[in-house]
Copies of this chain bind each other. A is one copy, B any other.
């Protein structure tokens, strides 16, 4: 895990950027190769018009653990997905975030839960936490999930 030594003003700047045009979310992607049928995929994303790509790219280098991609609609996304990087990112912006405080706290909870040994019950609880993101992020879609029946191990 990389510990970044950023100044407090750099950290606050990133928090402001994330609040304004960023996203914090966790997806439960159906995937039969996973024990409980879902891959839990958390992310912190920064967005910006591709027109400002050059200075956006420079800014992203403050947190050298994400990956940049340019979407077809002219939006650049800088996405951070690795667990240790997400934890580091949370540590950096948490004291300064204002609009997305609840998302950060929920993401932390999920990362903590994800680290622990899972069973059907704890995994169902983990999925419930993931679903709380829909409300925080104003997603209207509601999802009903059924976990695969697990044979005795």
Contacts and interface: CB of A to CB of B under 8 A. Distances in A.
22 contacts: A9-B9, A9-B96, A13-B13, A13-B15, A13-B96, A14-B16, A16-B17, A16-B19, A16-B20, A17-B17, A17-B19, A17-B20, A19-B20, A20-B22, A20-B46, A20-B47, A21-B21, A48-B99, A52-B99, A56-B99, A59-B98, A59-B99
Given A20-B48, A48-B20, A13 B99 contact: no
Task: Please list the 10 inter-chain residue pairs (A to B) with the smallest Cβ-Cβ separation, ordered nearest first.
Answer: A16-B16, A20-B21, A20-B20, A9-B12, A13-B16, A16-B17, A12-B12, A17-B20, A12-B13, A21-B21
A11 B9 CA distance: 8
